[in-house]
Amino acid sequence: MKYGIFELMLAAVVISFVGFAIENTWLLLTKGYMDNRNMTLPFLLGYGVLMVDFYLMFGTPSDVHVPIVSDRFTDNEIYFVLAFFTVSIGEIMLGTATEKATGVVYWNYSWIPLHLTKYTSLPTSLGFAYIIENFMTYCFPEIMGVITQLPAEIIPPAAVILFTALSIDTLHGFWKMYSDHNLYCLWKIERPKLDLRALI
């Protein structure tokens, strides 16, 4: 493994914040609001864990860790297919487990054409696979480059403290969903509605 466990834990923390920011940006653009995404801290640990696990299982598009040799497909194409199936299976497993454990439908893709169960669909899996492939190509190496330049004595305690805090926060969010039988909404910011008549 190219990176140490504490470096990867810090990477998961950074990517969790990026995931929180991207998800809220998408919500703001498509639904007109931002919220805490069932967490207290501005991090979504699932994104960080997914990307780090993806690195551990498959590497990066420029250094694929799986022994798949093909004259018909490039490493990037193979990586894309791996990302597609990993996301599809992972979403079904996480969504189903959350619903069974908490009684809450965490998300619902039933309105999207070509959905498979309410938790995954062909369009969303293709989109996530594209994002993962590009993130692991361009962003992940840069993030790891910054982390590996940090003082060696800082990395382990920072990784343990931050990752533990995010893990506790994630469990707390799921506990709130379980106890309230609803999504955990700590705060919500609506996008101001523009009154075009006032501009005339």
Average pLDDT over residues 123-152: 96
To the question of pTM greater than 0.85 for the whole model, the response is yes
Tabulate helix, strand, coil % of the chain (nearest 5). Answer: 65, 5, 30
The set of residues, in sequence order, having a beta carbon less than 8 Å from that of 94 and lying 6+ positions away, is 46, 106, 119
pLDDT tens string 23-33: 999 999 989 99
What is the percent of the chain with per-residue pLDDT over 70, rounded to a whole number? 94
- Residues 133-159, mean pLDDT to the nearest whole number: 96
Looking up tokens 């669909």, which residue turns up? 121
Tens-digit pLDDT profile for residues 32-53: 999 999 999 999 999 999 999 9
User: Per-residue pLDDT tens for 168-199?
Assistant: 999 999 999 999 999 999 999 998 876 656 55
b vs e for 50-67, b when ≥16 Cβ sit within 10 Å of the residue's Cβ?
A: bbbebbeebbbbeebeee
Rounded-to-integer distance, Cα 133 and Cα 129, Å = 6
Pairing assessment for the beta strands 120-121 and 188-190 based on DSSP bridges: unpaired
SS3 label, residue 61: coil
Collect all residues with Cβ–Cβ distance below 8 Å to 20 and sequence separation of at least 6. 37, 39, 42, 43, 44, 47
| Per-residue model confidence (pLDDT) at position 195 | 60
